[in-house]
Amino acid sequence: MGALERRFTIPAVLESVEDACEFAANEARAAGLGEDAVYHCHLSVEEVCTNIIEHGYKFQGQDQYIEVVCVSMPDRFTITIIDNATPFDPLARADPDPAAPLAEREGGGWGIFFVKKFMDSIAYKFEANHNQLIMEKRLRGG
């Protein structure tokens, strides 16, 4: 059995993020992931898309797009989030510190931190003039 690929595109605005999340969650479910893993995919897509809209497009992405590509394979499920904002590797930033006291918490950085925790792997590349963040969940018994 080969890979099954499906794509979904949203305008780069917060109001559309839930559509991208629903798409990825439905694809994850169809790929055979359990409900906890589906939830992890949903939350990860929200965090990544929100990050792109906020930091990549500076909330000015009305005429820009974010593409979500889900690929289902026998042993794994991948979600690739593609945007054409300025090249930016969100994985290069240091993780926030869970032990930091309240006064030292600036509020940012937790989204990608959660993605790293929730997904089995995450990678970034800049290719064909686009940022691409590839997240993977392994399928048991694949």
DSSP state of 55: I
Task: Find tokens 């300025």 and name the residue.
Answer: 86
| Nearest to other proteins of 17, 70 (CB atom) | 17
Of residues 117, 112, 39, 28, the one with CA closest to residue 77: 28
Which of 8, 9, 14, 55 lies at the binding interface for other proteins (CB under 8 A)? Answer: 14
One residue of 92, 98, 127, 129 binding other proteins per CB under 8 A: 98
Q: Which residues pair with 9 in a beta bridge?
A: 67
Give the Cα separation of 65 and 84 in Å (integer).
8
**C-beta closer to other proteins: residue 75 or 106:** 106
Examine residue 30 and tell whether it contacts other proteins (CB under 8 A): no
Determine the residue type at 84.
N
Interaction site with other proteins (CB under 8 A): 14-15, 17-18, 39, 42-43, 46-47, 50, 96-103, 105, 107-108, 110-111, 113-114, 117
